[in-house]
Structure 1
Amino acid sequence: MKKIIVIISLFVLTVCQAATIRDSLYIPTISYNKVILDDDCDACGCAAGNGSSGFESLLNPQFIGIKYFAQHYKAKENLFVKDLTQDQYFNTLQLWGKIPLTKKLSVYASLPFHFHEKQTLQGDIRINGIGDMNVMGIYQFLNSKNTFHQLNGGLGVKVPLGKFDEKGITGVNPSFQLGTGSWDYQMVLNYKYQKNKLAILFNTDYTVKTENKKHYRFGSQWNYAAAGFYQLYRNEKVIVSGKGGLQGEVYDKNRQFNEVLPNTAGSALYGKIGFEAGYKNLSLGGEVMLPAYSNLAGGDIEAKSRFSLFINVGI
């Protein structure tokens, strides 16, 4: 508990310090030409990585906020059952923020709290607790004079604060965890094109996962996404946008004692639709995702749906 309090205190202190340079770097909240980092969890569970890390929000380029993210999967109850009968629910409540350091460089950080559940013939199994913390530096490589084109890139690290349960890797979904127990490293690249009321975003990121103290290594992960935004309404204080797109995820095989584990790789493709709304220094957004394709854990796990909702305060 002391560890959690210290981490949250440092996170808030950093935000407060960043607010002191607001006058020189501040960009008005209702700004349709900036992006922030939208950090989703991965398919198969938040523990296995940082999921689809995409710059997929157009409001509040400097912010602190809270995000709720839910995932639903179907899995095999045991090896002798062909049908996918086990419901698995991954839920995350996340504190996150993006803080400017210079005109082109900023720092993104997130601290999740997970509460997961899976339904088995022996009864429901629940786990909850703090997850792995993410910290990333984001650099703006390109921002054209007419603001039509923008290119951002980032490097980051996932700090293993979440508990890794060695017993959990024996199930159908070894990612039913609070954390990987490993230091993982992330790379992200994002391109945005915007003109008038329309914006199009392309994002790709890769997470290199390392071996933890239990000699278990989750497979590295590649995410890619394309999303379009359209401004539905705007005045001096309010802006409302709709968004839709595709998001894909590819997972390498897990390893234990450097031996490849079967039925641990996979991929999935989602279609998504959502909205974002801003009022003064507040922004609210949400989206629903449904799978267009799912082949996880050799077919032993099927992606069903995802839902997210966030509220941010501009700083």
Structure 2
Amino acid sequence: MKNIFLILLSLFLSKMARAEPARDSLYIPQNQNSFTSIKLLEDDCDACGCAAGNGSSGFESLLNPQFIGIKYFAQHYKAKENLFVKDLTQDQYFNTIQLWGKIPITKKLSVYGSLPFQFHEKKTMQGDIRINGIGDLNVMGIYQLISSKDSFHQLNGGLGVKVPLGKFDEKGITGVNPSFQLGTGSWDYQMVLNYKYQKNKVAVLINTDYTIKTENKKYYQFGNQWNYAATGFYQIHADKKIILSGKVGLQGEVYDRNKQFNEALPDTAGSALYGKLGFELSYSKWSLGSEVMLPAYTNLAGGNIEAKSRLSVFINFGI
């Protein structure tokens, strides 16, 4: 799988490198689907948000800037069965189906929201453990800070809050991966910055966001999280009705240590870096997209957890 991913990645990058300025610019008037606007911020598929399980799936679509839709996001991790086992034998699967949308308030201000439904599973020697239910609600205000006259450059910022609707199980923090939860049980706060450059058939997005996590009612606090990503888009096909673009990029995540009763916990911090490859297709007001992510580097929970693959699929309706 990794070899196939690297081959596709190399082909895509070589095509972007050979791309010459074309007469058919990416710019199309706002009443049509195009690469003209972005959906901001790293979407947090909130399994809960610590060493593993709160992977960002790349909220970087260039189609349908204002939308409502549904998204599926799957994550796979390997963890130690227990502290006395050296090998990473336990498969953990984090799955999320979420409703999301970005609604315009003014010309420059929009409100983004997402409500996830989680269904997670981990395989242990004692049998499979499954949890499912509603996750934490995300709400964010997004403001366009800068937009150049030629539309080549755009800078957006956002502030948001995560409402603890998902269940937090205190027993779950005793395992190797305390992120095996439906929610953090805490009010968390997010800051986002997003830059876009586009010209002709090529666009580049650079995203960064930081989440501040607070202590929940069980005196447990998940570590703060920093996400960053760089993604390149290439318009493969465009006509009056259909636009198809490919995308390739890198995405990283850094997690601070969790705390309990204000004491930092060992083996709860970590970081991971992913390569990603995907596509987006729009028809009329509808857009469809998918993305595959594979780890280039992973060091989670003191080496007790290894990130494997991620997959996301979404379908949106422009409003």
When the two structures are superposed, what TM-score results if normalisation uses the length of structure 1? 0.89
**In structure 1, what is the Cα distance between the partners aligned to 2:296 and 2:277?**
13
Match of 1:30 among 30, 33, 43: 33
User: Runs (4+) of structure 1 moved beyond 4 Å?
Assistant: none
2:169 and 2:97 mapped to 1: Cα distance?
Answer: 20
Q: Distance in 1 between matches of 2:296 and 2:222?
A: 24
Letter in 1 for 2:169: D
Go from structure 1 to structure 2 and tell me whether the alpha carbon gap of 1:67 and 1:38 turns closer, same or farther (over 3 Å shift): farther
Counterpart amino acid of 2:47? C
Q: What is the identity, as a one-letter code, of the residue corresponding to 1:201?
A: L
Q: Is the 8 A contact 1:136 1:156 kept in 2?
A: yes
Q: Does 1:96 align with 2:97?
A: no
Report Cα offsets for 1:202-236 as digits up to 9, x if no partner.
00000000000000000000000000000000000
Residue 129 of structure 2 is matched in structure 1 by 125
Number of residue pairs aligned between Structure 1 and Structure 2: 288
**Matched-pair contact (CA < 8 Å) for 1:40–1:69:** no
Cα distance, 1:54 vs structure 2: 5.1
What residue number does 2:213 align with?
209
Question: How many Å apart are 1:177 and its aligned residue?
Answer: 0.1
Question: Residues 183-222 of structure 1: matches in 2 within 5 Å?
Answer: 183-222=187-226
Query: Structure 2 vs 1, CA of residues 151 and 274 (structure 1 numbering), >3 Å: closer, same or farther?
Result: same
Work out whether 1:140 is the aligned partner of 2:144.
Answer: yes
Find the counterpart in structure 2 of residue 257 from structure 1: 261
Q: Per-residue CA shift, 1:64-88, capped at 9, x if unaligned?
A: 0000000000000001100000000
Alignment partner of 1:303 is 2:303: no
Q: Within 1, Cα distance between the matches of 2:207 and 2:58?
A: 6
Assess if the C-alpha contact under 8 Å between 1:240 and 1:278 holds in 2. Answer: yes
* Shift of residue 51, structure 1, vs aligned partner: 4.2
What is the deviation of 1:41?
Answer: 3.7
User: Percent of aligned positions with the same letter in both sequences?
Assistant: 78
Q: Which residue of 1 aligns with 2:242?
A: 238
Contact 1:274 1:286 in 2 (8 A): yes
CA distance in 2, matches of 1:158, 1:297: 23
Question: Is the 2:57–2:73 contact (alpha carbons within 8 Å) kept by the matching residues of 1?
Answer: no
Q: Distance in 2 between matches of 1:104 and 1:53?
A: 25
Please give the secondary structure, in 2, of the residue aligned with 1:168.
helix
Matches within 5 A, 1:145-156: 145-156=149-160
Q: Secondary structure at the match of 1:106?
A: strand
- AA aligned to 1:180 is T
In structure 1, the residue matched to 2:83 is 79
What is the one-letter code of the residue matched to 1:275? F
> Contact 2:292/2:310 (CA < 8 Å) preserved in 1?
yes
1:110 to 2:111 alignment: no
> Matched residue of 2:183: which SS?
coil
Shift of 1:53: 7.4
Contact 1:203 1:225 in 2 (8 A): yes
> Residues of 2 paired with 1:275 and 1:38: CA distance?
18
Q: How do 1:9-20 residues align onto structure 2 when only pairs under 5 Å count?
A: none
The TM-score, its normalising length taken from structure 2, stands at 0.88
- Structure 2 stretches of 5 or more lacking a match? 1-28
Q: Please name the residue that 1:12 is paired with.
A: none
AA partner of residue 236 (structure 1): K
Report the 3-state secondary structure (helix = DSSP H, G, I; strand = E; otherwise coil) of the residue aligned with 2:48. Answer: helix
Q: Aligned Cα RMSD in Å?
A: 1.4
Confirm or deny that 1:224 pairs with 2:228. yes
Looking at structure 2, the residues matched to 175 and 215 of structure 1 have their Cα atoms a distance apart, in angstroms, of 15
